[in-house]
Each structure stands twice: as structure tokens, then as C-alpha cells.
Amino acid sequence: MSRSDAGDDDGTGAGRIPQIASRLIAPFVDRSVAERLLISVAAILLSIAVGFVIVLVSGRIAECSTAAWTMPLTGIGFCYDPVEVYLVLFNGALGYPFAVGEPGLFNPDWSPFNLSFALTLSETTLLIFTGLSVAVAFRAGLFNIGTQGQLVVGGLATALTVLAAAPLLPAGPIAGVALIAVGILAGAVGGGFWGAIPGALKAYTDANEVITTIMLNFIAANVAYVLVLEVFRAEGSSVVATEYVPEYAQFLPWFFPGSSDFALVALLVGFGFIAGLYYLVEHTSFGYDLRTSGVQAAAAEYGGVNAKLTTVRAMTLSGAIGGVGGAVWVLMSEGRWMASVPSLGFDGITVSILAGNNPLGVLPAAFLFGLLKGGALEIGFRTDVPTELVGVLRGLIILFVAMPEFFRMIGRYTGLGSRGPSGPDAGGSGGAEPADDAAAVEGGETDA
């Protein structure tokens, strides 16, 4: 028995060094779920604080007749009141559960089934799909920037399939359910196909998926545009869009106002995808292959994982989920495919990053961005503050979440996580060549 073993056993001596080191480096190298959560929450709070200052500063630059807020003691006036901005942002996104002007007081007239909250949830639902799409690719070590294009293609496939199939069935709720199912399937196939292309290019021609997915986004958007403009454009439509799919083939809003473009059932489908994807990643052989390829490709190869096939499969799955997002966008939000597709796919990247690429984390992350979206509209209605400030807030959140990720990357590239520049406390833990007690104690002596 070696000394290092003894150290591990009784928790004294040599075993401590790597423990300490890993505790120091862990936040940047290999964070646990709890740590990711902590960082995400901290990033949100930090961005709110910085956003506070930005609102103040921009309120100083803007011109207004009466100051919305005056700084005590100094008497300096600001056009925008940051407290009010945040109250409107979050309160408004939920449809004002708290009385306006009297923060903390519950509004007795509030019902969750209001228009503002529906907008928030609508955005949340769509971001769940695009966030999951990006997350699943990330877990396989692939950076899918192409969710946007997959959503565009999937949405178009859904719209065209449902429009083509609708006349074949008698109108009615049963046909509606069937058409929605077929539409989602068509979206998944379309998006999956569009995701499989960069997957195959990556696997068999070694083409960087970041480049190919970006390019395929352009191709998707422009080909779809021309296709709809020239072939599938609705007669008399002033915008480039397909015909509306029949009313009965769209998601019904249920309890929410009909004008809200939100359907609870679509959100439930999103929950189902979250649970399903979580199970897939954590509890199946395919998920094991996928994750292993993502964290350590050489070990995956050793473990009999077919790297090429896994790449293609992961990108196809990612694209299919993005395509389902497109289907939901068509069948829930718009009722048709139109050329002005919102940037849901790109927002999915930020959702996934905030979620730490964990399917379960996608839900709160998507909800947060849903809140910001819904709140931004309220800010536009209720205050003089430009809604772009909300965009700044969103950017700040990602900036702060991404910064530890950045440290982690730096740690990997510089080997900080594996063997430090010098000294024992950087000696071992983390990344590529970790925690050999001996290495830690002896400042990097290699074994054998």
C-alpha cells in the first residue's frame, strides 16, 4: 500500500492536497449541477445590478421634463427609475400579480390566465425546444449554431405538410389532433434532416460544425424565403408567408386569451421533451455514448462508441428538436409559416448556456428569457425606457454566465486544470491529467 492510498483512506496527509486543489479549481474546470446553478443565479443578480447602473446612466443621458428619480443628497435627477423598470419588467411579465405602485401588495384581480403572462409562456415554450436542441448537441461536444435554420426548415415542413394533408381529412377536432401530430412529425423530420447535414459533414469530411451550421442558417432562410415567395405564398398576402393552416389544426389556447398565441398543451409537450431528453441523456446507452463523446472523445472511442455515427445522430436529434420548435411556432404562434422568423434558434444558445446544457436546466432558463421577453413589452407600454435596455440585460446575463465558462476553457487550454504552472496547490485535479496524489505532492512528478 502506498502512502497516497493511505492518505485517501483516512483523509489526512497526501490526500488533502488534490482535494483542496480540486475545490479551488472545480468551479472553472468541472462544475457540479449545484455550482452551475449558483453561477447562473449569481450571473442573473449581477446583471440586474449592472443593468441598474445602465438604466441610471442612460436616464442621465436621455432628456425629459421631470426626473423620474432623484438621487438623495445630491439632488441629481434621472429620467428613468431603475426600481420601477425592474418592477414593471418582472411584475408586468406575469401580468401584474402585485399592485402597481404598491410593491409587495398582491393584486386581488390577478389571474394567471392573462395576456402578458401568456406572452411570457409562449416565448418560454418556444425557447424550451430551441434550448433543448442546442443543449443536446452541446452534450455531444458539438456546437450547433444551426438551430435557427433547423427551426426555419422544420417550421416550413410543418406548414406545408399540414396544408397539404388538411383537405384529406374531414374538418374537426380529431382531424386537428392528427394534423398537429403529423405537423410536429414533419417539423422533426425537416429539422432533423437539416441538422443531419452538418453532422454528416463533420463526421465524414471533418468540416467544422460551427461554420457549416451558420452557413446552413443562411441557406435555410433564403431558400425558404424564395420557395414561399415563388411557390407557396398565400394569395393576396402582403408578407411572404404561406396560407394559414386550418384553425382546428392549431394548438388551442385553452384557458388563456385567444389572442395570446400561447397554448398550454404546447408547453406540456415541451415538458415532455425536457423529461424525455433528460432520460435519454442520463439513462440510456445512446445518452452514455453521446455524453462520453462530448466530454472525452478518446475514451468514447476506446469504449466502442462510433464517433462518426454519434456525431450524425446527435446533430440529427438536435435538428429534430429545433424542427419541433419550428412546428410549435407555426402551429401555436403564427398559424402559418412566414419569412420573418424570430431569432428563437439563437436565443436557444443563450438558454442552453444558462442551463449549463442540462435538459432540466432548460426549463428555468427558458422561463427567465420568457419573462424578459414579456417584460420588455410591458416596459415599452408603461415606461419611457427604451425596450432595448432589456436586450442589454439579456446580454449581460449571458456575459456573466459565460465568463466562468471562459475560465474553464482557459483552464483546459492552459492545463490549469491538470497541472498547474508551479507549486503543489495547482499540481493535480481537474482536467486532462488530474489528481495523482503523488503528482500533487511532488509538484508534478510523473508516475513510472
The residues binding another protein (CB under 8 A) are 1-5, 7-9, 13-14, 16-20, 22, 30, 283-289, 292, 295-296, 298-306, 422-425, 429-439, 441-448
User: Which DSSP string do the residues of 158-185 spell out, in sequence order?
Assistant: HHHHHHHHGGGS-SSHHHHHHHHHHHHH
Task: For another protein, give the closer residue by CB, 98 or 286.
Answer: 286
SS3 106: strand
Work out how close the CB of 5 gets to another protein at its nearest, in angstroms, rounded to a whole number: 5
Q: What is the nearest approach in angstroms of another protein to the Cβ of residue 269?
A: 23
Burial per residue of 235-246, b for 16 or more beta-carbon CB atoms within 10 angstroms, e otherwise: eeeeebbbbbbb
Amino acid at 114: N
What is the nearest approach in angstroms of another protein to the Cβ of residue 356? 13
| Residue 5 vs 247, nearer CB to another protein | 5
Backbone φ and ψ of 26, nearest 5°: -50, -45
Q: Which is nearer to another protein, 135 or 393 (CB)?
A: 135
3-state secondary structure of 425: helix
For the chain, give the number of residues: 448
Phi and psi at residue 49, to the nearest 5°: -65, -45
125 vs 292, which CB is nearer to another protein? 292
CB of 428 to another protein, least distance (A): 9
The residues that bridge with 77 in the sheet, in sequence order, are: 70
**Of 18 and 370, which has the nearer Cβ to another protein?**
18
Residue 37 C-beta: closest distance to another protein, Å:
17
Query: Cβ of residue 300: shortest distance to another protein, in angstroms?
Result: 8
Other Cβ atoms less than 10 A from the Cβ of 145: the count is 22
Pairing of strands 69-70, 77-78: antiparallel
Distance CA 414, CA 402 (A): 18
**What sign does the CA torsion over 141, 146, 152, 156 have?**
negative
Distance in Å, CB of 444 to another protein, minimum: 8
Q: Which is nearer to another protein, 124 or 429 (CB)?
A: 429
Compare residues 102 and 206 and give the one whose CB is closer to another protein.
Answer: 206
